[in-house]
Amino acid sequence: MKHQAIREQLLETVVKANEVGLIRLSAGNISVRTSKNLAAITPTGVKYRQMKVDDISIVDLDGHLIDGLAPSSETPMHTAIYRDLPEVGGICHTHSSYAITFSMLEEEIPPANLELFACGAPIPVAPWACTGTQKIGEVTVEIFKSRPDLKVVLLDKHGLVAIGRDLDHAYEMALNAEVGLRTYHQALVVGKPQSLTDDQLEEIKAAYSK
Ligand SMILES: [Zn+2]
């Protein structure tokens, strides 16, 4: 089978993401760049708990199927990001609870904790674009291009998209974002969360750079 190792790695990430509730049933999708012009991506309509290695789709960056089952309906967003952001090696798109919750408010998320900071907060909500369209790729790419440190964007009334230099990095960013948003929500329920100050942000950057 072509791209065996990378498909196995992608399926492992799918299992992990399913276990922690980042993806469920067939909602959300994950991909990894396999070469300059190819990517492996979760197939459409297959429940994550039942997915097998050879189900994983291999597509070119125009979205044409090379091998495996028919790719995710959200492939156009993934391929747009890989085409326009050559440093991106992995993408994790989730319909996770807190990402959906905050995407509905259409308000930027401040760097209120270390998890959100790690994602490059403030985290913006992309302008509305329907799932499965080219437009959702365009609005997402535009934001990531204008904010080189940003790793996570919320998709309006939909979820989040996390990018990384490789698959593990993208997965970590998606998980950080969901944990950061869940705890931010909890703080909003019990009080008024304070964003990290500029001085605190500088301290954290210095600590992480060591
Ligand atoms: Zn989606």
pLDDT at 26 exceeding the cut of 90:
no
Work out the average pLDDT over 94-103.
97
Instruction: Using the mean position of ligand 1's atoms as its centre, give its distance from the Cα of residue 95 in Å.
Output: 6
pLDDT at 2 exceeding the cut of 90:
no
Quick one: pLDDT band at residue 36, thresholds 50, 70, 90?
confident
Instruction: Using the mean position of ligand 1's atoms as its centre, give its distance from the Cα of residue 28 in Å.
Output: 5
Instruction: Using the mean position of ligand 1's atoms as its centre, give its distance from the Cα of residue 136 in Å.
Output: 10
Alpha-carbon distances, residue 84 vs 8, 77, 87 (angstroms):
26, 11, 9
pLDDT of residue 102: 98
Beta strand 125-126 pairing with 90-94? unpaired
Instruction: Using the mean position of ligand 1's atoms as its centre, give its distance from the Cα of residue 206 in Å.
Output: 35
Work out the average pLDDT over 61-70.
96
pLDDT of residue 24: 87
Cα separation, 29 vs 31, in Å, equals 7
Active site residues: 74
pLDDT at 66 exceeding the cut of 80:
yes
With vertex at residue 134, the alpha carbon angle to CA 128 and CA 137, rounded to the nearest 5 degrees, is 65
- The single-letter DSSP state of residue 128 is P
pLDDT of residue 209: 87
The third-level CATH classification (topology) of the domain covering 4-203 is L-fuculose-1-phosphate Aldolase (3.40.225)
Query: Exposure of 65 by Cβ count < 10 A (0-12 exposed, 13-18 middle, 19+ buried)?
Result: middle
pLDDT at 92 exceeding the cut of 80:
yes
Domain residue ranges in the chain: 4-203
**Mean pLDDT estimate for the chain:** 95
Instruction: Using the mean position of ligand 1's atoms as its centre, give its distance from the Cα of residue 158 in Å.
Output: 6
Work out the average pLDDT over 90-110.
97
Q: How many CA atoms lie within 13 A of 168 on its CB side?
A: 1
pLDDT at 106 exceeding the cut of 90:
yes
Instruction: Using the mean position of ligand 1's atoms as its centre, give its distance from the Cα of residue 204 in Å.
Output: 32
pLDDT at 1 exceeding the cut of 80:
no
Instruction: Using the mean position of ligand 1's atoms as its centre, give its distance from the Cα of residue 149 in Å.
Output: 23
Asked if residue 35 lies in contact with residue 5, where contact means CB atoms within 8 angstroms, the answer is no
Which residues, 6 or more positions from 147, have their beta carbon under 8 angstroms from its beta carbon? 120, 124
Work out the average pLDDT over 190-198.
96
